[in-house]
Chains A and B, each alone.
Chain A
Amino acid sequence: MRIALFATCIVDAMYPETAKSTVKILERLGHEVVFPKAQACCGQMHINSGYMSEALPVVENHINAFDTDDYDVAVAPSGSCVASVKHQHPRLAERLGKPELKERAVAVGKRTYELSQLLVDVLGITDAAQQLGSYFPDTITYHPSCHGMRSLQLGDRQLDLLKTVGGINVEILPEADQCCGFGGTFSIKNADVSSAMLEDKVKNICSTGASACAGGDASCLMHIGGGLSRTGAKPKTLHLADILASTMEETVTL
């Protein structure tokens, strides 16, 4: 398959390793990965902050970049950005009275998958160690990000993949389904409430004794990681893609 990588702006700029990991996993499975260079961002930050007219060029750019015949499916290592592409883009187009854009947005959304969705639903991965050679000999816990869990209904796809990584020990996170408090500009507009939510997430992660908290959204992981780092807590954060890409030969270190 020819798979277009939607890196997402935060991974592109802050966590390039996670995008490289995504490429590695897909290439390991024998697929060809392309990177549409016109891509930038899904526009979620603008939409969620209420800046709809400022969001429009960002969304249009994404749709233009991905509304091509150059690939079969698109994938992003982020539940949140995929949910934005699938749900928010058509809605924004509708709100701004652009039916044609809406149609194209729906078409792009249909072909866009979150990483675990693509791996499990399309590529039939059920055992990461066997099929991807994934190996990570450490104890992790896992935070299911809200948009993946609720907007995309990912269920246990990410967790199940992690559990089948070679050498791994997965400790279940207490109150895992609770939001970490990120919420984009919520974290600065309502910094106090956001911090109170983060505090509980950090406590719960520490209570598992894991060396790292894994997740499928770089933005939530940056938030959680920022809180762990600030409190001097031991656990680090690690993206699902980085753990799946880790192998016996090339093991990811924290």
Chain B
Amino acid sequence: MTQVFLGMPAPGHGNLFEEEPFPQAAHRELGNTQMRKNLRHATHTIRDKRLKVVGELPDWDDLRDSGSAIKNNAMANIEELLLQFEKNFTARGGIVHWARDASEANKIVTELVKATGSTEVVKVKSMATQEIGLNEHLETEGIEAFETDLAELIVQLGHDKPSHILVPAIHKNRTQVRDIFLKEMPGVDPTLTDEPAKLAEAARSHLRKKFLASKVAISGANFALADTGTLGVVESEGNGRMCLTLPETLITVMGIEKVLPQWEDLEVFMQLLPRSSTGERMNPYTSLWTGVTEDDGPQNVHIVLLDNGRTRALSDRFGRTALNCIRCSACMNVCPVYERTGGHAYGSTYPGPIGAILSPLMTGIEAEDNGSLPYASSLCGACYDACPVKINIPEILVHLRGEDVDAKRDTHKLPTQMDLLMKGGSWALGKGKNIGLLEKALPLGRLMAGKNKKIKKLPGIAAGWTQSRDVPAPPNKSFRDWWSDEKESK
């Protein structure tokens, strides 16, 4: 048994980075009207579905509290739980590997695949392998990875990047999907239409050959149960079930935060997850496996337990609840920013509200442009409301903004306009007397506004405001002065 030393927070690597400041990426994506139409349609549909099934449960809020409590407890005892899981998984014939970061995980998986002699693997949809860039790594090692989840397949065939954690091709509509299939799918029927059933059929016959031929499958996991050493995958299409049962070797890559204390915990999460993610009462396929079962399913069963910045996130006492995330995607589906910019604007494998906190928590706020992610929110709180494990995303966003400002304080040579605004604001708003003094200048603003009582253009960073909004003419007199004149003098 190789033991990882928990409590040494190293930053995460792999696909966790925003490569340009979010506002810049957002500006570009906002111009993609087709994407915005597709996304608006998709997010609004799933929002309504979720609200309907969540509304059916009178104890929904209690369930959320339970989910949150179980996760908090699991994270507080993660070291013991992982060791317990390792013991039980190993006792049932599975092999446990520990990976500090993305490159270690990639190396472990590559060696395991090479040991089978296979140069092809089938894949179950998995966020962890996206995060570490496994497919790309395997390719450089001469191993071809085939995504079997329909949406992942669309992304892979289209040489695209996922833009959503549950529906990676959410930014594409079905006509675009048909075009990708026609262009990229070997042996596709050239008369293929964009009917969903036909598209699924095309994917099915394309994949069936792979399922039957592949000797190695790679998956992620939605949870690992410490008390039994069981792994679980929750899915909709059944392709996951094929990958998990047909091949000889099964390699699972899982973030360490997915560990749960006990089997009974599934009771809570199997209610929370399907309703929050696809808006269904129950998902069609739930596969659970515990090590190796003789003559049934894969006989070589491995798990790679991945840290890649998770311990780092865990060490942040104001941010650690981000690790409670069960990857349901409800937060991005309800997010007004995500709805308009799409997932690519966030750079990282994890887009939307959860990505805006998780990526910087895992990599450190100073990494690349991840410091711009926590600002990608109006703090409307829709994500917190929707989150099945009650992660207070707005609160963590604000916390990380604080980390970002503190990190930049030391490195800035010259103060930015924002710094000056905030320092001046701190003085002005730090005393009733000071704001009162400034308010004496209100008539000046009236002068600026002129006859039609509107300010249409402001200088510097405030120009962002007047890009789409007028500023009303200020009043002649503040309330404070009115109060002194009218109420106090009487």
On whether A222 and B472 interact (CB within 8 A), knowing A13-B435, A13-B442, A197-B340, the answer reads yes
Of A37, A40, A193, A227, chain B has the most CB atoms within 10 Å of the CB of: A193
**Can you list 12 A-B contacts (CB < 8 A)?**
A19-B479, A38-B432, A46-B426, A48-B398, A50-B374, A50-B400, A50-B402, A51-B402, A88-B398, A147-B379, A225-B472, A227-B469
Closest to A183 in B: B378
* Residue in contact with A58 in the complex, picked from B430, B461, B475, CB distance below 8 Å: B430
**Given the complex, which residues of A lie within 8 Å of B276, measured CB to CB?**
none
CA distance A20 to B456 in the complex (A): 27
Asked if B471 is an interface residue, CB under 8 A from chain A, the answer is: yes
**Given the complex, which residues of B lie within 8 Å of A65, measured CB to CB?**
432
CA distance A147 to B425 in the complex (A): 22
Selected interface stretch from A4-12, A68-76, A106-114: A4-12
**Given the complex, which residues of A lie within 8 Å of B92, measured CB to CB?**
none
Give me the interface of A with B, judged by CB distance under 8 Å: 7, 9, 11-17, 19-20, 35-41, 43, 45-52, 54-55, 57-58, 60-61, 65, 88, 91, 95, 146-147, 150-151, 177-179, 181-199, 222-223, 225-227, 229-230
Give, as a whole number of angstroms, the nearest-CB distance from B403 to chain A.
8
A46 touches B432 (CB 8 A): no
B361-397 contact mask (Cβ, 8 Å, vs A): 1 or 0 = 0000000000000111111111011000000000100
* Residue in contact with B465 in the complex, picked from A52, A150, A197, A226, CB distance below 8 Å: A226
CA distance A40 to B479 in the complex (A): 12
**Given the complex, which residues of A lie within 8 Å of B378, measured CB to CB?**
146, 179, 181-183, 186-187, 194, 197
User: Considering the complex, which residues of chain B in the window 307-350 have a beta carbon less than 8 Å from any beta carbon of chain A?
Assistant: 318, 336-337, 340-341
Selected interface stretch from B21-29, B150-158, B162-170, B234-242: B21-29
Number of A-B contacts (CB under 8 A): 204
Asked if B161 is an interface residue, CB under 8 A from chain A, the answer is: no
Q: Is the interface of B mostly helix, strand, loop or mixed?
A: helix
B398 touches A146 (CB 8 A): no
Give me the interface of B with A, judged by CB distance under 8 Å: 22-23, 26-27, 30, 318, 336-337, 340-341, 374-382, 384-385, 395, 398-406, 418, 422-423, 425-426, 428-432, 434-435, 438-439, 442, 454, 456, 461-462, 464-465, 467-472, 474-475, 477-480, 482-483, 487
**Given the complex, which residues of A lie within 8 Å of B471, measured CB to CB?**
222, 226
**Given the complex, which residues of A lie within 8 Å of B431, measured CB to CB?**
38, 40, 61
CA distance A158 to B454 in the complex (A): 29
CA distance A43 to B426 in the complex (A): 8
Known: A12-B439, A16-B479, A147-B381. 20 other contacts (CB 8 A): A9-B435, A35-B480, A38-B432, A40-B429, A41-B429, A45-B425, A48-B398, A48-B401, A52-B406, A57-B426, A91-B395, A181-B378, A186-B378, A191-B465, A192-B23, A193-B341, A198-B468, A223-B469, A225-B472, A230-B456
CA distance A208 to B472 in the complex (A): 23
Closest to B467 in A: A191
On whether A61 and B376 interact (CB within 8 A), knowing A179-B336, A193-B337, A226-B472, the answer reads no
Closest to B452 in A: A229
**Given the complex, which residues of B lie within 8 Å of A230, measured CB to CB?**
456, 468-470
On whether A183 and B482 interact (CB within 8 A), knowing A49-B418, A54-B422, A195-B467, the answer reads no
Closest to B468 in A: A195
Give, as a whole number of angstroms, the nearest-CB distance from B92 to chain A.
44
B395 touches A192 (CB 8 A): no
Minimum-distance CB pairs A-B, first 5? A183-B378, A226-B469, A50-B401, A188-B464, A191-B464
On whether A37 and B480 interact (CB within 8 A), knowing A12-B435, A65-B432, A187-B465, the answer reads yes
A197 touches B26 (CB 8 A): no
Of A17, A49, A178, A222, chain B has the most CB atoms within 10 Å of the CB of: A49
B465 touches A51 (CB 8 A): no
On whether A183 and B477 interact (CB within 8 A), knowing A49-B422, A193-B340, the answer reads no
CA distance A197 to B379 in the complex (A): 13
CA distance A199 to B418 in the complex (A): 25
B479 touches A46 (CB 8 A): no
Give, as a whole number of angstroms, the nearest-CB distance from A49 to chain B.
6
On whether A50 and B398 interact (CB within 8 A), knowing A183-B378, A190-B23, A197-B378, the answer reads yes
B26 touches A193 (CB 8 A): yes
B418 touches A185 (CB 8 A): yes
**Given the complex, which residues of A lie within 8 Å of B430, measured CB to CB?**
40, 57-58, 60-61
* Residue in contact with A11 in the complex, picked from B377, B429, B472, B479, CB distance below 8 Å: B479
**Given the complex, which residues of A lie within 8 Å of B439, measured CB to CB?**
12-13
Give, as a whole number of angstroms, the nearest-CB distance from B220 to chain A.
30
CA distance A118 to B406 in the complex (A): 38
Of B385, B404, B426, B438, chain A has the most CB atoms within 10 Å of the CB of: B426
**Given the complex, which residues of B lie within 8 Å of A223, measured CB to CB?**
469
